[in-house]
Amino acid sequence: MSAAIEVDFTVVRVASLMESDPAAAAREAARIVRAHPGHAAAALLLGTALRACGDTEAAAAELSALAEARPDSAVIRLELGRALRRSGRDSEARLALERAVELAPDLGEGWRELSLLYAACGECAACDAAYARFKSLVAEDAGLNEAAAAVATARFPAAEGLLKRVLERSPEHVEALRMLGRVAAAREDYPEAERLLEECLRLAPGYTGARLDLVELLNRQFRGAPMLSLLERLLASEPGNPWYRTLQAAAYNLMGQSERALPILRSMVREFPGDASIWLQYGNALRVMGDQVEAIGAYRRCIELKPGFGEAWSALGNLKTLRLTPADVAALRTQLAHEDLSHEDRVHLEFTLGKALEDARDFAGSFEHYARGNELRRAVVPHDRERLTRLVRDSRALYGAPFFDARAGWGCPSREPIFIVGLPRAGSTLIEQILASHSLVEGTRELTNVLSFATELGARRSDDPARPSAYPRSVAQLSRSQLAALGERYLEETRSQRRLGRPHFVDKLGSNFLHLGLIHLMLPNARIVDARRAALACCFANFKQHFPIGFSVTNSLEDLGHCYREYVSLMAHFDQVLPGRIYRVCYEDLVSDLEREVRGLLEYCGLPFEEQCLRFHETRRVVQTVSSEQVRQPLYGEAVDQWRHYEPWLAPLKEALGDLATAAADRGQH
């Protein structure tokens, strides 16, 4: 073996140390360079090893000298650029990296490094373009194919296992992080999905696919404002992209700015008349604006274009004032018979067929399809019953009268917010519509800000740094100024939802009943209204309603009964420790004596009586929830006993509810 070949073999052997022991690789490479000063591969290895050890200045010096000797080597320029960037010498790094891709336009890693450098310089368009070039040059990771197939077929536990194994080997594998984020989103673990996607973008700021996933995740959580800044960047690179523009319209809708959303969507349906997804968004925008006739036309157009489009069928079925026709029922059965139907489409179609059969008074068939839709949904998004029990138990333990007495006068003193809490389908949208009919109150939507605060507080640590402090116990650590700041932050973050400049606004996220202690502490003068409905009526109304996100408890009669009991228990606790703080409105009472209930509600909120609140159905405003059509109609009592048609199948619910199954909705502190 010649001396030159022997040196080459030595370099290869030393290079194998890079991953396990870069310091040893640097020492060995330095010996080779001293013995063979002109050996370019050894010098490149030395520079790379020094950078891996954190000695970036020495690495830059070694690689600069090598680059002068080998000016046409793209790989040397790449490594020099990496060393210079890590030394904080961005302008020099930029020259080296741009020269590298000029010498070798197909050098994927060069484009990735440039993307990171452009991101650090605030050059977003250049960052995104460079990363797109990198993605176009890098082969798909074959190791992710199996995980991708598992995600596509809703086999999320299998996908999660595969992806976590990839990340154990490569913690910064952005494709695996992105896919794991999608799995978390499908399971409705939105904080974890958001964390994973943000980590993706930290590692790869130009990764357009991850940015789009984050926009779609925010859209699913009804968080329009943060969507816009992300979309601005996406649209800067592809201004004509129809999906980006559709999401922009969706963001405006979520922010209550339908007057900005509708022109975009009208333009889109003219430009892309064959795109069913755009017609769906257009229909949704029309529905929340109260234009039901046009909304129905848009949804029908969706179904013409894509007969198995479950979300479009669901949107049509959720128009509570519309009854599907026998032809619709036949079409739904035909689509459900297709074996290649996606899991999501199938769930939507099962619920829609259940609603159509209910309207046709085929209650046995209707229940069968409601149950099947819930079973399919439950297989993907299981409900953690113990988690709810633990949160209620911990809240009762923490939030006692002495705890609140010690913090009397804390928080932000604003009287602007009116919170409506409780379980879905209990009349919260109706109560909001009544309040929003008042000249001093603005209706907004289900705002997720308090939920976000609770999620943040769940990450706080106690005095023992080794043990995370679970929410709500971490609330006890908040100082007077911190609680006041949270209240101010809530007002600031929700300001974009208030368009009318009225003194009060409504936040109707029902699950805020789990965070009443935090709400009281940060906004002690806010009004809190508990929307209550009799147990069997409320629970079954939830069972038959498909909630695409955020409320997995509705997929089981037993879980619903358990949840209702926990809800009633927690509200009774707050009635005891904060007497008079929460005002209860029972749906059945609203139906039986609307004026009495409205007068009591307005008095509690400190509002003068206005006749318009009794004519709430005449109020024109954006209504985002599935009850949007019902609250535009006069109040009727048919829904009170609707559950009785299904009583033969409700034994599991009655058993879970116990004595609450036969009790009327408790007026409590009224």
pLDDT at 431: 96
pLDDT at 258: 82
pLDDT at 641: 84
- Average pLDDT (42-66) is 84
Rounded to whole angstroms, how far apart are CA atoms 61 and 64? 5
pLDDT above 90 (res 23):
no
User: E strands within 6-52?
Assistant: none
What the block records as the tokens of 479 is 């100082």
Burial class, 465, CB count within 10 angstroms (exposed 0-12 / middle 13-18 / buried 19+): exposed
pLDDT in tens, 587-606: 999 999 999 999 999 999 99
Range of weakest confidence among 194-198, 472-476, 573-577, 632-636: 632-636
pLDDT above 50 (res 1):
no
Preceding omega of 171 cis (within 30 degrees of 0): no
Burial class, 83, CB count within 10 angstroms (exposed 0-12 / middle 13-18 / buried 19+): buried
Instruction: Check whether residue 204 and residue 303 sit in a common domain.
Output: yes
| Number of CB atoms found within 10 A of residue 362's CB | 15
Instruction: Check whether residue 153 and residue 273 sit in a common domain.
Output: yes
In Å, the largest CA–CA distance within the chain is 102
- Angle, helix 22-35 to helix 40-52, in steps of 10 degrees: 150
pLDDT above 50 (res 461):
no
Closest to 193 (Cα-Cα) out of 206, 208, 182: 182
Burial class, 377, CB count within 10 angstroms (exposed 0-12 / middle 13-18 / buried 19+): buried
Going from the C-alpha of 313 to that of each of 268, 317, 354, 555, the distances in angstroms are 21, 6, 12, 19
| 3-state secondary structure at position 357 | helix
Range of weakest confidence among 18-22, 25-29, 96-100, 636-640: 636-640
pLDDT above 70 (res 627):
no
pLDDT at 225: 86
pLDDT at 462: 43
Rounded to whole angstroms, how far apart are CA atoms 532 and 423? 8
Going from the C-alpha of 284 to that of each of 242, 313, 496, the distances in angstroms are 17, 12, 21
Rounded to whole angstroms, how far apart are CA atoms 8 and 15? 11
pLDDT at 459: 63
Closest to 474 (Cα-Cα) out of 463, 466, 485: 463
Going from the C-alpha of 227 to that of each of 219, 454, 492, 646, the distances in angstroms are 7, 21, 17, 41
What is the residue whose two structure tokens read 């499908």? Answer: 186
Domain boundary among 338, 372, 407: 338
| 3-state secondary structure at position 426 | coil
Rounded to whole angstroms, how far apart are CA atoms 638 and 3? 95
Burial class, 1, CB count within 10 angstroms (exposed 0-12 / middle 13-18 / buried 19+): exposed
pLDDT in tens, 150-160: 887 778 888 88
Domain boundary among 338, 353, 376: 338
Percent of the chain with pLDDT over 70: 92
Percent of the chain with pLDDT over 90: 60
Q: Which helix (H) or strand (E) element contains residue 506?
A: strand 504-507
pLDDT above 70 (res 3):
no
| Number of CB atoms found within 10 A of residue 609's CB | 14
Instruction: Report residue 629's pLDDT band, with 50, 70 and 90 as the boundaries.
Output: very low
Q: Has residue 328 been placed in a domain?
A: yes
Number of domains forming the structure of the chain: 3
Instruction: Check whether residue 556 and residue 485 sit in a common domain.
Output: yes
pLDDT in tens, 367-384: 999 999 999 998 888 888
| 3-state secondary structure at position 157 | helix
Preceding omega of 157 cis (within 30 degrees of 0): no
- Angle, helix 108-120 to helix 74-86, in steps of 10 degrees: 30
- What is the chain's length? 670
Question: Per DSSP, what are the bridge partners of residue 419?
Answer: 507, 528
Question: Per DSSP, what are the bridge partners of residue 98?
Answer: none
pLDDT in tens, 285-311: 898 888 889 999 999 999 999 999 999
Question: Considering the entire predicted model, what is its pTM?
Answer: 0.78
pLDDT in tens, 430-445: 999 999 999 999 998 8
The segment with the largest mean pLDDT, out of 56-65, 114-123, 416-425, is 416-425
| 3-state secondary structure at position 296 | helix
Q: Has residue 506 been placed in a domain?
A: yes
Instruction: Check whether residue 212 and residue 272 sit in a common domain.
Output: yes
Instruction: Check whether residue 436 and residue 469 sit in a common domain.
Output: yes
Instruction: Report residue 640's pLDDT band, with 50, 70 and 90 as the boundaries.
Output: confident
pLDDT at 620: 62
Torsion sign, CA atoms 370, 431, 635, 599: positive
pLDDT in tens, 543-564: 999 986 667 889 999 999 999 9
- Average pLDDT (220-246) is 91
Instruction: Check whether residue 178 and residue 95 sit in a common domain.
Output: no
Q: Has residue 285 been placed in a domain?
A: yes
H helix intervals, 238-324: 242-254, 258-271, 276-288, 292-305, 310-317
pLDDT above 80 (res 35):
no
Closest to 555 (Cα-Cα) out of 564, 565, 545: 545
pLDDT above 90 (res 499):
no
Closest to 253 (Cα-Cα) out of 212, 284, 220, 207: 284
What the block records as the tokens of 282 is 């257009």
Rounded to whole angstroms, how far apart are CA atoms 496 and 355? 36
The DSSP letter of residue 476 is: G
Instruction: Check whether residue 75 and residue 165 sit in a common domain.
Output: no
pLDDT in tens, 170-208: 888 999 999 999 999 888 888 889 999 999 999 999 999
Q: Has residue 631 been placed in a domain?
A: yes
pLDDT in tens, 309-349: 999 999 999 887 789 999 999 999 999 999 989 989 999 99
Range of weakest confidence among 134-138, 274-278, 540-544, 595-599: 134-138
Instruction: Report residue 7's pLDDT band, with 50, 70 and 90 as the boundaries.
Output: low
Q: What is the mean pLDDT of the chain?
A: 89
| Number of CB atoms found within 10 A of residue 166's CB | 19
Rounded to whole angstroms, how far apart are CA atoms 181 and 594? 46
Instruction: Check whether residue 161 and residue 87 sit in a common domain.
Output: no
The segment with the largest mean pLDDT, out of 53-62, 217-226, 370-379, 459-468, is 370-379
Q: Has residue 666 been placed in a domain?
A: no
Rounded to whole angstroms, how far apart are CA atoms 38 and 74? 18
Instruction: Check whether residue 80 and residue 162 sit in a common domain.
Output: no
Q: Has residue 380 been placed in a domain?
A: no
- CATH label of the domain that carries residue 274: 1.25.40.10
Distance spanning both ends of the chain, measured CA to CA: 95
The DSSP letter of residue 19 is: T
Instruction: Check whether residue 12 and residue 66 sit in a common domain.
Output: yes
Range of weakest confidence among 68-82, 175-189, 283-297, 626-640: 626-640
- CATH label of the domain that carries residue 652: 3.40.50.300
Q: Has residue 372 been placed in a domain?
A: no
Higher-confidence position of 128 and 222: 128
Instruction: Check whether residue 155 and residue 23 sit in a common domain.
Output: no
Range of weakest confidence among 45-59, 82-96, 475-489, 501-515: 45-59
pLDDT at 550: 60
pLDDT at 579: 96
CB-based contact 344:313 (threshold 8 Å): no
What the block records as the tokens of 519 is 């709400």
Q: Has residue 668 been placed in a domain?
A: no
Query: C-alpha 257: how far from its chain's center?
Result: 20
Instruction: Check whether residue 162 and residue 110 sit in a common domain.
Output: no
Rounded to whole angstroms, how far apart are CA atoms 265 and 278? 7
Domain boundary among 76, 108, 137: 137
Rounded to whole angstroms, how far apart are CA atoms 428 and 421? 7
- 62: domain range? 3-137
